[in-house]
Every structure is written in structure tokens, then in C-alpha cells.
Structure 1
Amino acid sequence: MSAAADFSAEGDVLRFSGDLSLARLGTLPDRLRGHDGQVARIDLSGVDRIDTIGAWVVHRFAREHDARIEGLSGDAQHLLDQVEAADQPVQMRPVSTSSFRRVLGEIGDAVAHSGRTAVGLIGFMGATLIAFFNVLRHPKRFRFNATVQRFEVVGVSALGIIGLMSFLIGIVIAQQGAVQLRQFGAEAFTINLVGRITLRELGVLMTAIMVAGRSGSAFAAQLGTMKLTEEIDAMRTIGVSPMEALVLPRTIAAIVLMPLLGFYSAVIAIIGGGILCWLSLDIPLVTYVARIREVVPITDLFVGLIKAPVFGAIIAVAGCYQGMQVEGDAEQVGLRTTSAVVQAIFMVIVVDAFFAVFFEQIGWI
């Protein structure tokens, strides 16, 4: 066992010896506080062992006497350097700032975070495209079973909730439209309203919002959990690309199934509107269907089918990107899942606005 910690003074040099650890310090701190001589250098070459407490005692004494510490090397010197670096004043209360500066700072942080997220999403989309082309070049690497399983999760399992939502939306649109158009004696134009707005806009848009909340959040939570449990790192270790094995099947499933789900949603909404027109406006179903065929141009169907795969790609990329960004603890999974849903819905609405302007410019109105 090393000797207990001790020191001796030789002129302006203070030499420490023995074991400068918590268990062997003894009365050394009290004796050092009682030392009132002039100290220019502290020699630790005779120290057998030193821990954090011993390093702190020596550092505090050196700071009080403005002395230079020497004689340590290797891990002991690194420990002393860490103790010196950690000796910083602690601010017990935050500096009070004005409400304006605080709000301005929060806005700036939000803008910077949005910029970083946008750059990350663009880069992630590029990585997804690279993985897609790699799979095209090497078809044997395509995860067919995983993609089919995603088809079931994204599409088949969502038919019930999307159908119910669309049916009710069709009824609401028809009822509210009929109430307003009745003031002008134009209840018959309720059919135009239901047919065009569901095929062109609401069918695919409401489906995208539902898929973002249902499947986009699932993508983020699944990949985030795999990131926490280091399954994704293990896949990279054995030579499996997470982009090809995890991200690409989910993206393909969302892109392929969104047009089908959007068309299904529009048809169910039209059926709901037709039932309301039959019961409330006494419009026979045969007349309703014939009128739908007359007033709804085929371009409305094309508009919805063109937008749907783009919305699916946005939802899948946003969900997978946020899931791959999970780090630290389980709380990050919830935060990233929320971010995935919010970002997907926001981007879907923004892109839908751009599509509306684009189709209006080319005459598809």
C-alpha cells in the first residue's frame, strides 16, 4: 500500500509525496490551508497515485498561491488537465433577457433548425435515389418480401379507416354544399361540388394526411427503435445497406399505394355524397352517377393520380429520415415521430399548393 499523502516545503517549492487519493488524503487539505509560505512551484514527481479529489486539492492550492504544477506525466497529467478545465464558475441563475430578444432568439433557432432539416431531407432523398438505382443495377438485392409486407401495412390495413373518413367527408361536403347552394336554388350543383373536389383535391389530400399520421409515424418509430437498439449499426457491420433493406421498401410501398388509396378515397367520398343527395335532395342514384360522369372531367382524375405518388414519397422520406436521426434515449423516438408527422403534413400541403398553381397554368382546371 502506498504511503499516506504528505508534502514538504523547500524554499518556494512544495513537494508532494505518497498517495493523493481520497482514501489516503487524511488531514492534507487542512494542513495545506494552514501553509502560509511563498510557493512558486508544486512538484508532484514523488506522488505514487492521484485521483480526482487529490488533483482538485493540488489544483486549488496552486490556484490560490499562483503556483506552477510540474512532475506529472501520462494519465495523471491528463487527469489534472481535466480538473483544471472543469474549474469554471457556475452560473446559478440565468441571465435575464428581454422578452423581445428571447422571442427573436427562438425564431432564429427555429429558422436555423428548419434549414438544417431541409438540407438533411434533400440529402436523404438523394441517398434513397442512389439506393434505388443500386437495386436496379443488382435486382437480387431487392427486398421483395419486405416491400410486400409494407404494402399490407400502408395500404390494406388502412382501407377501413380511410374509407370511413372519406365516406363521412363526402357526406359533409354534400350537406354543407346543399345548404349554401339552396339559397340560390342551385341544389343540383351539389353533385358538381362533390365530384370535382373529391377527385381533384380532398380525396388524395386527406388520404395523404391519414397516411402521414398512420404510416409515416410508424416508419419513424420503427427505424428510431432500431437505431436505439443498434440494429442498424449491426446491419452496416455485416454489409447490409439500411437504405436498401429498410428505407427503400417503405418508400416504394408509399409511392405505389398512394394513388390507389387516393382513388379509393375519392370513390368512397363520392358514394357518401351520393347517399346524402339521394336522402336529402331526392336525387336518384342513377341520376347522380350520370351527372358525375358529365360534370367531372377526366383531368381531375389525372390531377389526383399525379399528385398521389409525390405525396407518398414525401411521407416515406420524412418518416424514414426522422427515424434514422434518433440518438440518445427513448424520448428521442417520440420527438422524432412527432416531427415526422408534422413535417410530412406540412410539406404535403405546400406541394399541393404548388400543384394547384401548376395545373391552373397548364389549363387543367
Structure 2
Amino acid sequence: MQEKPLMEHSARPVEGSFTIETEPDAARAVLVGTLGLHEFPDFHRALSEVAPDHGLVFDLSGTTQIDTSIAWAIATAQKARAEDGRRAEIVGASRDIGQILDTVTEALPAPEARAKAPGALIAILAGLGQQVVGVRLAMTEFSGVLGLFLSRLAQIIARPRAFRLTALTHHCETVGLQAVPIVSLMAFLIGVVLAFQGSAQLRQFGAEVFVVDLIAISILRELGILLTAIIVAGRTASAFTAAIGSMKMREEIDAMRTLGIDPGHALIVPRVLALILMLPILGLIANLAGLFGGALMSWIELGISPAMFMTRLVEGTDVANVFVGLVKAPVFALLIGVIGCQAGLAVGKTAESLGRMTSSAVVAAIFAVILADALFSIFFQQIGL
């Protein structure tokens, strides 16, 4: 059968040219002269126009020289045909041209093997394992920051002159005094809600007077300090993370170390210690505000006068309830402060990392507070307190 030319491209005849002819099941590319980067666009386009089901034969018997661009076009076309099971061969290449083709072919990137997608059960187990490892790493980091705080606190006790009283005062104002309005309002509304809902239920049994016991035990033993700690966790843990994280992003912590300033003394101890000192005070304020709200709603809803409310409160409420509530405060404060500082120290170099760690600190602090409260409840129940 007589060969019919499919197309013919010529570029810079003085330097070189090529033709591509077709047969029933193959195409033949004949290269003549010296071909380089000037001929590459036309040559590459011509190869791409060859039907995919056609084999390729490159006739280089009339070629004197090619550069790596032409060699790359030949090598990629040959590789694509070989992967599809089509014929792709080179004939008539001189030794020098063959070496160029071999070098370019060896340099072609190997395709990445696609990993087999895991099954649904494997994916679930893998995700669970990653979460367990993440929790373990978080606990390890928490233990490290907690140990750093305790060691620096011991050094301060041994050398009181190293204590930063100004920083402690500033953080006491930030985490304590500035939080009084929101804590008081929250506790007041909780007392109002407890009195209103309790009166609605106890009225059915003619036991309205016991609403005082309900309010007192709920607020003094559990809700007062728990909700205060949750508010402080959302407000203060995020503030600690943002402040320390911003300093780390700006490399201020590295600068402090360069100047001989210990970040544990300057950043962690004042913040955590201020929280330990102020959270019991905030809890006491929340208890008073909650009792006031409950007394006000009891007076309005049930007609229980403030004097009667106070008498019933003193007679029916054990002081141990106040102790049980307030003894949790330092532990909650330690958890919130250490988690906030740990998240701040874990911030990377980007703003996205700062936002992610701030959110993570709030969630982790609230979860830790609720978990610790549950453990305290079980403990006090076991010892009969």
C-alpha cells in the first residue's frame, strides 16, 4: 500500500525538518538535519495530533543532531505508547543521538503508585487511632507545661526576688476584676432560672419552701463554681493562647531567651498563679449573685421574703456545700491556665495556627473543667461529703 502523508511540518529548513506519515496502524516520523528548541512546538503539536490507537516509528537516520527538547518529545511519546501496549520504536539513530535519548528517558519521572483506598472499617479504626495518639501527645505537652509551672513556682518560693509582682497584679485584674460583671450576671440569671423552674415543680406537691434548698445546694455545690470556670475557660484560656501565641509568632519568646529572661517566669507563672488566686474569689461572687437572684425570684414568685429565705438557707444548708464548691476552684484554675499557656506555646508561624490553637484551647479547657467536676462529684460522694 502506498503511504499517504498525513501532515508535513517544516521549520527552519536550513537547520532541520520533520514529516509525519501514516500507515493503517502506525505513524512514521522522519526527522532530518539538526532539530532543536525552534522546531519543538510544531513537532510536539504534530505528535499530539497522531491518533492514540496508532503506533509510532521515529526514523532518525537522516538526523544529525537533536537537543533535549526534541528528545523529551520523542521519549514521552514512546513511553505513552508503550504504557498503552502500542508499538513505539526508534530506528536509525546515531550513537550520540541514542545517548541523548537514553539520558532523557532515564530522567523522566516515574508515575506515583496510587495507594489502595482503605475500607470503611479500616478508615474508622485509623481515625480512632489518630485521635488516641493526639490525646496522648496533648497529655504529654500538658504534663510538660504543668511541670514547668511547678518548677518555676518552686524557684520563686526559694528566691522571692525573682517573683514578678507587677505582672501578677496585672493578670489578676485581667482574669479576675474584669470578669466580675459577666460572672455576676450569669450567676444571677442562673439563680433566677432555678427559682422559677423549681417553684413551678415544687408547687405541685405543696413544697415551695424547699426551693431554697434547691437553689442553695445547686449553686453553692455545683453550678456556681462550674459555670464560673466555664466562662473563665472561654474568656481567659483564649486570651492566654492569643497573647503567648502572638509573642511566639513575632519571635518575642526567642528574644526573651536571648536576653536571659526565662519565659516560664515571665509568661506562665504570673498567668496561672493569678488564675489560681482569682477563680475562688470569682466563684464566691457567683455564689452570692446566684443566691441573690434565687431569693429575688422566690420573693416574686412564691412570696418567700428575704428574711425567710435567709433563715431557711442557714438552717437547711450545710457549710460543707460551700467548701465542696470552692475547693474545686484552684484545680479548675490550674487546668485552664496550663491548657491556655500550652496552646500558646504550640502556636506556629501563621495566623491560621493561632486561630486554630485558640479554639482548641477553649474546647480543651471547658472539657477538662467538666471532666474534673465529674471526678470531684464522684469523689465527694464516695467520702460522704
Q: 1:228 to 1:195 in 2, by over 3 A?
A: same
- The alignment status of 1:142 with 2:163, answered yes or no, reads yes
Residue 58 of structure 2 corresponds to which residue in structure 1?
none
Match of 1:239 among 260, 272, 275: 260
Q: 1:28 to 1:349 in 2, by over 3 A?
A: same
Residue 108 of structure 1 corresponds to which residue in structure 2?
129
Name the amino acid aligned to 2:181.
Answer: G
Match of 2:334 among 310, 313, 337: 313
Residue 290 of structure 2 corresponds to which residue in structure 1?
269
Name the amino acid aligned to 2:243.
Answer: Q
Match of 2:105 among 64, 84, 107: 64
Match of 2:343 among 322, 342, 347: 322
Name the CA distance, whole Å, in 1 between partners of 2:250 and 2:172. Answer: 25
Name the CA distance, whole Å, in 1 between partners of 2:178 and 2:171. Answer: 10
Is the CA contact 2:152–2:269 (under 8 Å) kept in the aligned structure 1? yes
Q: 1:243 to 1:89 in 2, by over 3 A?
A: farther
Name the CA distance, whole Å, in 2 between partners of 1:28 and 1:159. Answer: 78
User: What is the CA distance between 1:328 and its match in structure 2?
Assistant: 2.9
Structure 2: gaps (5+ residues) = 1-65, 75-89
Q: Secondary structure at the match of 1:89?
A: coil
Q: Secondary structure at the match of 2:328?
A: helix
Residue 382 of structure 2 corresponds to which residue in structure 1?
361
Name the CA distance, whole Å, in 1 between partners of 2:356 and 2:141. Answer: 17
User: What is the CA distance between 1:95 and its match in structure 2?
Assistant: 4.9
Deviations, residues 244-291 of structure 1 (Å, cap 9, x unaligned): 100110000110011100011011000000000000000001110111
User: What is the CA distance between 1:105 and its match in structure 2?
Assistant: 2.0
CA RMSD of aligned residues (A): 2.4
Match of 1:28 among 64, 67, 72: 67
Match of 1:196 among 199, 211, 217: 217
Q: 1:65 to 1:215 in 2, by over 3 A?
A: closer
User: What is the CA distance between 1:94 and its match in structure 2?
Assistant: 7.3
Aligned length: 302
User: What is the CA distance between 1:99 and its match in structure 2?
Assistant: 3.3
Q: 1:65 to 1:197 in 2, by over 3 A?
A: closer
Name the CA distance, whole Å, in 2 between partners of 1:197 and 1:65. Answer: 76
Structure 1: gaps (5+ residues) = 1-26, 43-57, 67-83
User: What is the CA distance between 1:28 and its match in structure 2?
Assistant: 3.2
> Rg larger in 1 or in 2?
2
Q: Secondary structure at the match of 1:183?
A: helix
Name the CA distance, whole Å, in 2 between partners of 1:161 and 1:61. Answer: 75
Percentage identity across paired residues of the two chains: 40
Q: Secondary structure at the match of 2:205?
A: coil
- The alignment status of 1:163 with 2:163, answered yes or no, reads no
User: What is the CA distance between 1:31 and its match in structure 2?
Assistant: 5.8
Q: 1:279 to 1:89 in 2, by over 3 A?
A: same
Residue 307 of structure 2 corresponds to which residue in structure 1?
286
Name the CA distance, whole Å, in 1 between partners of 2:366 and 2:301. Answer: 34
Deviations, residues 45-99 of structure 1 (Å, cap 9, x unaligned): xxxxxxxxxxxxx9x9537259xxxxxxxxxxxxxxxxx9xx56357x8754433
Name the amino acid aligned to 2:319.
Answer: I
Name the amino acid aligned to 1:267.
Answer: L
Name the CA distance, whole Å, in 1 between partners of 2:298 and 2:144. Answer: 49
User: What is the CA distance between 1:140 and its match in structure 2?
Assistant: 1.6
Q: Secondary structure at the match of 2:261?
A: coil
Name the CA distance, whole Å, in 1 between partners of 2:106 and 2:120. Answer: 44
Name the CA distance, whole Å, in 2 between partners of 1:345 and 1:106. Answer: 23
Q: 1:115 to 1:37 in 2, by over 3 A?
A: farther
User: What is the CA distance between 1:361 and its match in structure 2?
Assistant: 1.9
Residue 62 of structure 2 corresponds to which residue in structure 1?
none
Residue 111 of structure 2 corresponds to which residue in structure 1?
89
Q: Secondary structure at the match of 2:327?
A: helix
Name the CA distance, whole Å, in 1 between partners of 2:204 and 2:244. Answer: 53
Name the amino acid aligned to 2:252.
Answer: E
Deviations, residues 161-218 of structure 1 (Å, cap 9, x unaligned): 1111110000001111111111211111000000111011100000000000001110
Q: Normalising by the residue count of structure 2, what TM-score does the alignment of the two structures yield?
A: 0.74
Name the CA distance, whole Å, in 2 between partners of 1:119 and 1:146. Answer: 28
Name the amino acid aligned to 2:162.
Answer: R
Name the CA distance, whole Å, in 2 between partners of 1:110 and 1:224. Answer: 24
Deviations, residues 85-139 of structure 1 (Å, cap 9, x unaligned): xx56357x87544333323222221111011101110121011101111112222
Is the CA contact 2:68–2:104 (under 8 Å) kept in the aligned structure 1? no
Name the CA distance, whole Å, in 2 between partners of 1:61 and 1:246. Answer: 62
